[in-house]
Amino acid sequence: MRRRTAGARGPAPADSPSLFDEEDATSVYADVGDEFPGASPASAIAVSTLTQIMKDVVEGAFVPLWVRGEVSDFKAHRNGHWYFCLRDQASQLKCVVWSRDQLRMPAAPDDGMQVTALGQLGVYAARGEMQLTIRQLEAEGDGLWRKALERTRLRLERDGLLAADRKRELPRFPRRIAVVTSASGAALRDIEAVVRRRAPGVELVVVHAAVQGENAPLELCAAMDRVARWGGADLVIIGRGGGSREDLWAFNDERVARAVAACAVPTISAVGHEVDITLCDLVADLRAPTPSAAAETAVASRMELALELGALRARLVGAIETCLYEPQQRASSAARALSRAVSGRLTQRQASVAALAGRLNALSPLATLERGYAVASGADGATRSSIRDFAPGERFNLRVRDGDVDATTVAVRPLDAPR
């Protein structure tokens, strides 16, 4: 290898032909003459002509290619385009992403990211530089998707939309469930099957939106808006069946997430399969792993309701029986007390009657008569207990134990008088 003396900047193979080799220049232009553009100072071509030719040659020679490299010197220009270099250990290549192509990319790359880019090699004439115009960009390990998701998540978090205390309780027995999904999708069929089986009397109202593709975010937002303006639902399920990450991406759209967060009635998000977690899931009041699971959570089954009603019925009956038991107990114990009181008094009265009777008996002359005494009484009924009460020849009554005797006084004499 040898250095050229004519001022060429880079190394070149020793035997490659060059316009600047004096001896070869004449031979190259021998056939066309000095008038050929660029063949002589007189026919020198303009820079813009040359770069235009360069552009045509390069762009004609390369079809769009996937190129692998590391991002460096990334710059998002005010004009909306992204500029950066793709490089490896030996080389670098200027790259541009026009703003309209950025819509298909989840996020801008960062310096140091390993990416693969699909682009068209061309020439930026104003600088005379070769550049790759990139249409698609993928970072190693889903880097761009993760970055986009994380950035949006942080914004939602900063606005408090992910806070646990925002989560509302779902209605236990919703009457009308709005289902924001594709009217022809698998998610709707799954939800419908579960609801028919579990919860009769529940109305499903489908609010159609594309769930994938470029229009999906706006259609999902519009559907949430219709649900809000309609105001007829007491629960909203938003979701779709499984799909690729790109298919599910609309549910990571910040506008969709914000629309779900702003929903006036409780929301269940059910996007894809168990492993797929979207921003929509994070802002909804409940995340269900699948649309079927969303439906199962949304509507209580007939069986559950029947069991609950049975339990409540038993408690109700038990409670009223308890309520009735105590007054019954009170009543019967009152009755017992009353009867105790009454019978107690009776006994007492009986005892006093007996005592009285005893006393009466003791006072009664009948008892004395029992012992053989007799009581004399006059016609006036007054007891005659002294000889002074008797006059000879006078009749009187003599009461003995078992009857009366008519008697007549023969004579009277004092106790100490001789007979």
Partner 1 sequence: MTIEQSLARLDAIVEQLESEPLELAAALALFEEGVACLREAAGTLSEAEARVQRLTELADGAFDVEPLDDE
Binding site for partner 1 (CB under 8 A): 171-173, 175, 178, 183, 192, 195-196, 199-208, 226-227, 229-230, 232, 302, 305-306, 308-309, 312-313, 315-316, 318-320, 322-324, 326-327
Closest to 101 measured CA to CA, from 129, 85, 114, 82: 82
Structure tokens at 393: 């020849």
φ, ψ dihedrals at 309, nearest 5°: -65, -40
DSSP state of 18: -
Structure tokens at 197: 């089986």
**One-letter identity of residue 3:** R
Kindly tell me which of 22 and 326 has the beta carbon lying closer to partner 1: 326
Q: Could you tell me the maximum CA-CA distance found in the chain, to the nearest angstrom?
A: 215
Shortest distance in whole angstroms from residue 328 CB to partner 1? 10
Q: How far apart are CA 238 and CA 269, in angstroms?
A: 5
Whether 216 and 209 have beta carbons less than 8 Å apart is answered as yes
Consecutive H or E run containing 82: strand 82-87
Shortest distance in whole angstroms from residue 251 CB to partner 1? 20
Kindly tell me which of 202 and 257 has the beta carbon lying closer to partner 1: 202
Shortest distance in whole angstroms from residue 324 CB to partner 1? 7
Kindly tell me which of 158 and 229 has the beta carbon lying closer to partner 1: 229
Kindly tell me which of 96 and 205 has the beta carbon lying closer to partner 1: 205
Shortest distance in whole angstroms from residue 302 CB to partner 1? 6
Kindly tell me which of 104 and 189 has the beta carbon lying closer to partner 1: 189
Whether 279 and 156 have beta carbons less than 8 Å apart is answered as yes
Kindly tell me which of 306 and 356 has the beta carbon lying closer to partner 1: 306
CB neighbour list of residue 180: distance below 8 Å, 6 or more residues apart? 207, 209, 220, 223, 224, 227, 236, 237, 238, 239
Structure tokens at 342: 């009454």
Kindly tell me which of 4 and 208 has the beta carbon lying closer to partner 1: 208
Shortest distance in whole angstroms from residue 266 CB to partner 1? 13
Kindly tell me which of 183 and 405 has the beta carbon lying closer to partner 1: 183
Shortest distance in whole angstroms from residue 169 CB to partner 1? 11
Structure tokens at 336: 């017992």
Closest to 107 measured CA to CA, from 252, 216, 211, 214: 252
Kindly tell me which of 304 and 370 has the beta carbon lying closer to partner 1: 304
Shortest distance in whole angstroms from residue 180 CB to partner 1? 10
Kindly tell me which of 182 and 269 has the beta carbon lying closer to partner 1: 182
Kindly tell me which of 129 and 308 has the beta carbon lying closer to partner 1: 308
Shortest distance in whole angstroms from residue 121 CB to partner 1? 49
Shortest distance in whole angstroms from residue 296 CB to partner 1? 14
Q: How far apart are CA 247 and CA 260, in angstroms?
A: 19
Structure tokens at 295: 């439906």
DSSP helix/strand/coil, 205: strand
Residues in the chain: 419
Q: How far apart are CA 266 and CA 94, in angstroms?
A: 50
Shortest distance in whole angstroms from residue 197 CB to partner 1? 9
Q: Judging by beta carbons within 10 Å of its beta carbon (0-12, 13-18, 19+), is residue 251 exposed, middle or buried?
A: buried
- Can you say whether residue 368 is alpha, beta or left, with left for phi > 0 and alpha for psi between -120 and 50 degrees? alpha
DSSP letters along 175-222, please? Answer: SEEEEEE-TTSHHHHHHHHHHHHH-TTPEEEEEE---SSTTHHHHHHH
Shortest distance in whole angstroms from residue 262 CB to partner 1? 18
Structure tokens at 340: 């105790």
Structure tokens at 394: 């006078």
